[in-house]
Every structure is written in C-alpha cells, then in structure tokens.
Chains A and B, each alone.
Chain A
Amino acid sequence: KKDAGSASGGKPEAAGANIKKEASSKDLSAASAVKKEPKRVPDHLKADDAETQKRIAKRLEKQRLPQRTVAQRKVRLFNHLHQYEREVSLTGSFSFSSGGIHPVIIKLGLQYAEGVICGSNARCLAMLAAFKQVIQDYTTPPQKELSRDLEATIKPYISFLNQCRLMSVSMGNAVKHLKHHITHMPNNLKDHEAKKKLLETIDSYIKERILLSAVAISKYVQDEAKIKDGDVILVYSCSSIVRKVLCDAWNQGKKFKVIVVDARPKMEGKEMLRRLVRAGIPCSYFMINAASYAMQEATKVMLGAHALLANGCVMSRVGTSQIALIAKACNVPVLVCCETYKFCERGQTDSFVYNELGDPDDLVFIGNKTPYLNDWRDYNSLTLLNLVYDVTPPEFISLVITELGLIPCTSVPVVLRMKQAETNET
C-alpha cells in the first residue's frame, strides 16, 4: 500500500491519497478476479456518479460524520462537483462519545465552513496547528503501533475537514508530508519521543516551507529590483505573500503606488486594501470590471496563487485569469509569487474539471440596493454560479517568484521532481 502511495508521482493528489488506499483495500476484500485500475480521480470530483456517492455516504456514516444536504439546483456544466446548501448547524448531530472527532478539528472545520479562515497559507497553518494539538493529545492504545493507529485516527478528521470545505492544494501537500513521516516512524521509539519527533517535523515544515519561503521571496523581489521607484503595481484580491512583499518593499524606502482590484462576492480586496493603507502605501481601489481602465496606469501586476499546476497553469482566485488577460493586452508584465509547497502534480486546461462551487446565495446580496435575485429559487430556469477558483494559462504569466528563485511557469515539473528526489532520500 505504501509503495502504491509513493509511486503515485504522476497521479492527481489533493485529498485523494487516503481515499485511494481505501479503494485498494476494498479491492482486496472484493471477491472479483477483475483487476481494478488505480484511481486517478478523487471522489470529490464525481458528484454525478451515483455509485461513488453511495460509497461516500457509507463511509461518512462509518466515521460518524455529518452528511451535508446537496444543493437543489446546480449549473449543468458543474454536475460533477459538489455543492452544498448552507447548514444552520453542521455539527448538530455530533455525539460526544469516546472516539469522536477532536474538538480542535471541529472548531477548525466550522471556521473553514463559515469562511472565517480563508486564504491557502492561513488555512494550511491553522490545520497544522490543529494537528499539532491532536498529536500532543494522542496516546497510542495498547497492542497498536503509533504509525498505523495515528494515521487511522487522522483519516476521519481529514474527511470532516473536506466536508466542511474542500481542502486546498497547500493543505493536501502538508497532509501528505505529515502522513509520510507518520508511516515512516520507526516502531522502537517510545510514545513521547515519537510525538516529539512528529511535532518537530511539523514545526520545521511550517518554518521552512511557509514562513521562511515568504521571507526568501520578498528578498528576491528586492535583490532583483522587481519593484522600482515610481512603479504602479496592480494586485488582485487578497494574498498574504503579495502583501508581505509590498510592505517589505515600502519599508525599504521604495516609492510606489498600488491599485487594488476587487470582485464580488467575497470582496477580499478590501482586506488587502486595509492592510496596505495601514502600512502607509498610497492605494486606489477598483472593481474588476474597471480593470481595463485601471490597467492603463499600471506598470506591473503582482498576483498570488492557490496552486501551480504541472502544465504551467496558475490556479488562483476566480478573476485572476481575467486580470492576466487584460495585462497581456496592455503589455503589462505579470508576476506570480508562490511558495514551492503549493506546487501540484495535476495538469489542468480549464477551470471546469477541478474547481470549488461556493454558495450561490452570496450573489443575491447587493449592498444598499433592493436585491433583484431574492426569489431566484422560484424560477426553474434560473441558476446562480459562484465559482471560487480559475486557471490562468502560462502565456499570460511573465515570471513566477519562489523561494528557489525566479522561474518561468513551465519549470514547475522540474521543481516537483527535485522535491520528490529529496523526499525519497530522507
């Protein structure tokens, strides 16, 4: 099983790792002689397959997790993706008998579902902090090994987090790293030593791959003089790494202006604007449909990313591809800042096959005006679509800034291979 997991270099990841293992265990128990193909597509991309849905429902029941009500009306193009109705209480059906979900994880899941924690770095850090707590509180039951049992304990937590909100690529990679270390834990260690080792692993992952990477990216931007005096930099929505780069450059004494472009329904750009204004940077603020007007003034565009795909595409907040398109049309260079732990082995050509569907009711509220779409559910022919991510083709991106240096978009598989070789060595 472990070999199947580590040889899955070319196969799609995200939260598929544990589901794959379970599928292969079911294969062994099934009495059929037919050799099943290893699964390429994770279950959360198969909302239109009745068999998969039944299997998922059974598994959730076994793990005693709540089932979410499926949305009534989905756009047909996205029938294969999950969309859930907003629940009043996600955890109302939980019973607190022994062996339930750890309360830290429940809290985290609710924070994800409500959108309190959003942004791929923030979500990953919160999840790792929660897992640290889980590991600290964990005791190996007698007659069991830590490496097997801890993994089995974590599995339902990951399912629960997935149910609350689809895991991001950064979270998926962090979980993969953690599981790798858990399963490779030597069995002769005492409990508290093994736990200490795991906590150290998580700490070093956070320090190296997330926090220090941000510092390195900021340093590259300064050393290579990517932000000059007199620049007008256009940013889109909220990205923690872009904010850090801009604030560091401003504190170094560079004089530049920032244009913040924002879009509905999340309006995350306001948060970015707030932080930049607090740092003292002169800013302007536009909605995304004024982006082609704003682009006339911009000299550079700086974007964050949710994930970088193996075919060179950038997966990021919906609207990023539009900004990149307009920038290309106005000959403005586009820089993407991304840490290497967000690199993903998947290849995607469009924004449909793999995406997240947000709550359609978010589109209804329009501020002080009376909403037009209040009774949209009464009309059978009307659907609302709230996409969360989109995919930007590599020809729009000029440069990707990572902690390993300044690379073009198409070098992502090279970096992945390097990282793979590193993990295989340790």
Chain B
Amino acid sequence: MPSGESEKVDELNEKLDVFARDLKHGSIEGSYNVAFRTVSLLRIVIAQSKCTTAKDVMESVVKEGKRLIAAQQSETAVGNMVRRILKIIREEYASALRGKSEEGDPQESLHKMLLAEGQIKDFSQPVPNLKATVLDAINELIIELENSADNIAGQALEHIHANEVILTAGKSRTVEAFLKKAAKKRKFQVMVVECAPFYHGQALAMSLARANIETTVINDSAVFAIMSRVNKVIIGTHTVMANGGLKAINGSHAIALAAKHYSVPLLVCAAMFKLSPKYLCSYDQDAFNKFVSPKDVMNFEEGEIASRAQIDNPVFDYVPPELVTLYVSNIGGNAPSYVYRLLSEFYHPDDHEL
C-alpha cells in the first residue's frame, strides 16, 4: 500500500535525522554505539530501497552516508561503516555475477593481478537476490561488531602476566573489558591516568576497583615519573589511522613518548571498525583535531584572566605508528606496520573518497 510505504520512508528519514542530530551534539557515548547505529540504519535503508541494481543501492548508501558523515566529521566510525557496507555490496555483486566468491581484491598481489579476470567496473546489471545476500552479510557485520569487545577481551591472558603493573588512561569500553577478563584469572596492578579535563580515568578506576582489581589513580603530570615502574601500557583509541598511527584521547602522545623512553611496550586495544583509511596530513592538526568548550579548563568565574588569554581544549592527540608496539583487535594481534594491508581487506580503494 502506497501510504504504508510512504509512512515507512518518513519513519526512516526521521530516524536518520535523529541520528544526525545526536552526532552533531556529540551525545552518543563511545564509537561502538556510533558504528552500531550507523549499520542498523543503513540496513534499513537497503531493506527499504526499491533499487534492483548494485549501482543504485550503492548510490543510496553513499547519499545517506554522506549526510551522516557531514553531521560530525570527527566521528570516523560513521565513514568506516559506510565503506564496509559498500565493500560488502561490491563483493556480493561480484560473487553473484561470477558464480563464485572472489578470492579477494586483485590488487593484493602481483600474482592475483596477473590471473584476475579484470575488475568489475559496471555495477548496473540487475542481479537476483542481491538485496537478500547483502542483508545477510550486513547481519554478519552486526554480529561481528557486537562480539568485537569480547573477542579482544578473550586475548587478555595472552598479554598480561602475573604481578604486572599496567598503565592505562581514560575510559575505553574495550580496555575495561580486557582488564576485567584478565583479572578473573591473574592478579595484577593497574595505574589509571585520570585524564583531566574530562576525568574519564577516574570513572574507569572506580569501575575497576569495584571488580576488586588493585587500582591507583594518578595525575596526568605524573606519567613520566611513574613510567619507570610500569610493565605495560594498554590504551584504547578513538581511531586507527591508515599508516598505523592513532587518533586517541588527549595525553596519549605524552604517554607513548614516556613508554618509548623507558622501553615499555604499548598495546592498543581497538576493534577493526575503528580502522579508517585517512592519514594525518599536517602536524598543525587543524582538520584532525576537535576542540570543545574550554570551560572545563578555566571556568568563567575567573573571567579576569580568562578574557585576556587564549584557552584551548583539544580532544584528540596524534600518536605516530613507531611508538605503538602492538594492536590487539578482534582479528588478532597485529604490528602497526601491517595495518595498511588490513585496509584493503575491509575497504575498497574506490571508496576511500566518498
């Protein structure tokens, strides 16, 4: 019935608007929630679309995706999920057309380039059951997202030995699950950096203390002083950049430098939905960083000096890949030098620029 359909279209538009508004206000906590909602919404977009060819489906996904990305440029998880879905569509189309599953991107090796039958350029041939297969694959993607934190936490015992002193900073859902899983079998100490002016570290410390893990809260300024007695640094990150670097919470660069000075290994727990095909193009970080209200740094009561000084409150920090020892992700442990290969596994090069 036409009215039922237009109702559904309106409902979908409303959901997209609500999501875009939440992104703009920054009221969604954690990049996992952002990724999950993006995939769920795009699944509805694909399910409700009347397109029959892969080209039209991809175009509608790109259109909605661009709108969501424009709402909050710094939330890379949105763009990552859009690109994952586009890659899924391409793969399903190619396997339906060729009758067999693609062995992978022909660009992966010279051998494959030689044997490949040529890349598919034309996506406009109608293929039966394309939507059903794509929706199945997206369901698998959702399951992978939901299990990512558990997969990473399952590797905890491979990396933490008994009586270790572990340093962590800020509050990462992944790292919290990682440490709590390890604490069930091993006894170790955790030092948490409180990360002013957001103070997420204090929240993490309370949560760990409730799980009976020996925790100490320290200031951001004491990181170098304490680092000589730390055995491992385990942090989470907001985004993994294409060169293996990190876009992490403010203060991570200082922690990484101190760890390098004392030769303490730095482990980053990040699920693969955080991997982004973007690079850092300039150390001025104008397009890279996000600045929030400086009222947490100096409140308005100190207006006399606050009005005569320049006060900034950047949210992110860039950590170059040579300071990271290992990425612990849901597909296993990887060195930062391997991250560029993972890009070609998850995203198609044509989708890097949406």
Interface of A with B (CB < 8 Å)? 75, 77, 260, 263-265, 270, 273-274, 277, 282-294, 296, 317-319, 321-322, 325-326, 329, 350-352, 363, 366-369, 371-373, 376, 379, 381-387, 390-391
Query: Which 8 interchain pairs have the tightest Cβ spacing?
Result: A319-B221, A289-B251, A382-B209, A284-B310, A263-B221, A390-B225, A351-B225, A372-B202
The minimal Cβ–Cβ distance linking A301 to chain B, given in whole angstroms, is 14
Most chain A beta carbons < 10 A, residue from B206, B220, B258, B299: B220
Contacts of A381 in B (CB 8 A): 208-209, 212-215
Establish whether residues A264 and B196, one from each chain, have CB atoms under 8 Å apart when the complex forms. Answer: yes
Establish whether residues B224 and A325, one from each chain, have CB atoms under 8 Å apart when the complex forms. Answer: yes
Q: Which B residues, 200 to 246, have Cβ-Cβ distances below 8 Å to chain A?
A: 202-203, 205-206, 208-210, 212-226, 228-229
Establish whether residues A387 and B310, one from each chain, have CB atoms under 8 Å apart when the complex forms. Answer: no
- Name the CB-closest residue of B to A274: B305
- Name the CB-closest residue of A to B284: A296
Contacts of B195 in A (CB 8 A): 289
Establish whether residues A285 and B309, one from each chain, have CB atoms under 8 Å apart when the complex forms. Answer: yes
Which secondary structure dominates where chain A touches chain B? mixed
Q: How far is the CA of A209 from the CA of B71 in the complex (A)?
A: 61
Establish whether residues A322 and B297, one from each chain, have CB atoms under 8 Å apart when the complex forms. Answer: no
CB of B337 closer than 8 Å to a CB of A: no
Contacts of A260 in B (CB 8 A): 309
Q: Assuming the A-B contacts A273-B309, A293-B289, A373-B205, are A322 and B223 also in contact, with contact meaning beta carbons closer than 8 angstroms in the complex?
A: yes
CB of B349 closer than 8 Å to a CB of A: no
CB of B298 closer than 8 Å to a CB of A: yes
- Name the CB-closest residue of B to A391: B225
- Name the CB-closest residue of A to B229: A77
The minimal Cβ–Cβ distance linking A122 to chain B, given in whole angstroms, is 20
Chain B interface residue count, CB cutoff 8 Å, equals: 56
Contacts of A273 in B (CB 8 A): 305, 309
B229, B254, B285, B310: the one contacting A283 at CB < 8 Å is B310
Q: How far is the CA of A425 from the CA of B176 in the complex (A)?
A: 63
The minimal Cβ–Cβ distance linking A179 to chain B, given in whole angstroms, is 32
Contacts of B284 in A (CB 8 A): 296
Establish whether residues B216 and A383, one from each chain, have CB atoms under 8 Å apart when the complex forms. Answer: yes
Contacts of B218 in A (CB 8 A): 385, 387
Most chain A beta carbons < 10 A, residue from B196, B221, B229: B221
- Name the CB-closest residue of B to A388: B222
Establish whether residues B317 and A293, one from each chain, have CB atoms under 8 Å apart when the complex forms. Answer: yes
The minimal Cβ–Cβ distance linking B289 to chain A, given in whole angstroms, is 7
- Name the CB-closest residue of A to B218: A385
Contacts of B313 in A (CB 8 A): 287, 290
Establish whether residues A373 and B220, one from each chain, have CB atoms under 8 Å apart when the complex forms. Answer: no
- Name the CB-closest residue of B to A263: B221
24 contacting pairs across A/B (C-beta < 8 A) = A77-B229, A263-B220, A264-B219, A264-B220, A277-B308, A277-B309, A283-B310, A288-B221, A290-B312, A318-B219, A318-B221, A319-B220, A322-B223, A326-B253, A326-B254, A352-B225, A363-B219, A371-B202, A372-B203, A373-B202, A373-B217, A379-B206, A382-B206, A384-B216
CB of B257 closer than 8 Å to a CB of A: yes
Establish whether residues B229 and A384, one from each chain, have CB atoms under 8 Å apart when the complex forms. Answer: no
Contacts of A283 in B (CB 8 A): 308-310
Q: Assuming the A-B contacts A277-B308, A325-B257, are A288 and B216 also in contact, with contact meaning beta carbons closer than 8 angstroms in the complex?
A: no
Establish whether residues B206 and A318, one from each chain, have CB atoms under 8 Å apart when the complex forms. Answer: no
Q: Which B residues, 270 to 322, have Cβ-Cβ distances below 8 Å to chain A?
A: 283-285, 289, 296-299, 302, 304-305, 308-314, 317
Establish whether residues A292 and B310, one from each chain, have CB atoms under 8 Å apart when the complex forms. Answer: no
Contacts of A379 in B (CB 8 A): 206, 209-210
The minimal Cβ–Cβ distance linking B112 to chain A, given in whole angstroms, is 41
Most chain A beta carbons < 10 A, residue from B218, B222, B257: B222
Q: How far is the CA of A203 from the CA of B216 in the complex (A)?
A: 46
Q: How far is the CA of A263 from the CA of B195 in the complex (A)?
A: 10
- Name the CB-closest residue of A to B190: A381
Q: How far is the CA of A366 from the CA of B198 in the complex (A)?
A: 9
Q: Assuming the A-B contacts A270-B302, A296-B284, A387-B222, are A325 and B312 also in contact, with contact meaning beta carbons closer than 8 angstroms in the complex?
A: no
CB of B197 closer than 8 Å to a CB of A: yes
Q: How far is the CA of A373 from the CA of B219 in the complex (A)?
A: 13
Contacts of A350 in B (CB 8 A): 225, 228
Establish whether residues A285 and B298, one from each chain, have CB atoms under 8 Å apart when the complex forms. Answer: yes
CB of B250 closer than 8 Å to a CB of A: yes
The minimal Cβ–Cβ distance linking A412 to chain B, given in whole angstroms, is 20
Q: Assuming the A-B contacts A289-B220, A322-B258, A373-B206, are A387 and B225 also in contact, with contact meaning beta carbons closer than 8 angstroms in the complex?
A: yes
The minimal Cβ–Cβ distance linking B234 to chain A, given in whole angstroms, is 18
Q: How far is the CA of A366 from the CA of B296 in the complex (A)?
A: 9
Establish whether residues B250 and A367, one from each chain, have CB atoms under 8 Å apart when the complex forms. Answer: no
Q: Assuming the A-B contacts A284-B311, A372-B206, are A277 and B220 also in contact, with contact meaning beta carbons closer than 8 angstroms in the complex?
A: no
CB of B199 closer than 8 Å to a CB of A: yes
Q: How far is the CA of A385 from the CA of B221 in the complex (A)?
A: 11
Contacts of A351 in B (CB 8 A): 225-226
Establish whether residues B217 and A384, one from each chain, have CB atoms under 8 Å apart when the complex forms. Answer: yes
CB of B194 closer than 8 Å to a CB of A: yes
B220, B298, B311: the one contacting A288 at CB < 8 Å is B220
